[in-house]
Homo-oligomer: A and B are copies of this chain.
């Protein structure tokens, strides 16, 4: 119990961590990041169609991700392309995104639908 104190994560740290992780805790954002990890660059409209969500929702999700510095945008004419930020946290990408996908897929093998790689 005294040990619990020293093992404590400060409330500030926890809040910041939770904020970062909460960006991965929403289906739309998660799918956007997952897609951008595979395709490198996509515009809002294509993402909206691919994920079958409204463009506003897509735009909103991308705005939050961008505000957190997880994605960058590149404007080409009237189209805005997004991609994962160069300094996207590697552990977040590698383990919270890629590994966890495997985790849930192996948990229900009867679905079986695996992507390549």
Q: Name the prevailing secondary structure of the A interface residues.
A: helix
- Across the interface, name the chain B residue whose C-beta is closest to A117: B11
CB pair B100–A10 under 8 Å, yes or no, is no
CB pair A7–B39 under 8 Å, yes or no, is yes
- Across the interface, name the chain B residue whose C-beta is closest to A7: B38
A13-B101, A91-B99 given as contacts; is B18 within 8 A of A21 (CB)? Answer: no
* Chain B residues within 8 Å of A42, by CB: 1, 4
A residues within 8 Å of B by Cβ? 1, 3-22, 24-28, 30-31, 34-35, 37-39, 42, 46-47, 49-52, 89, 91-92, 94-96, 99-101, 103-105, 113-115, 117
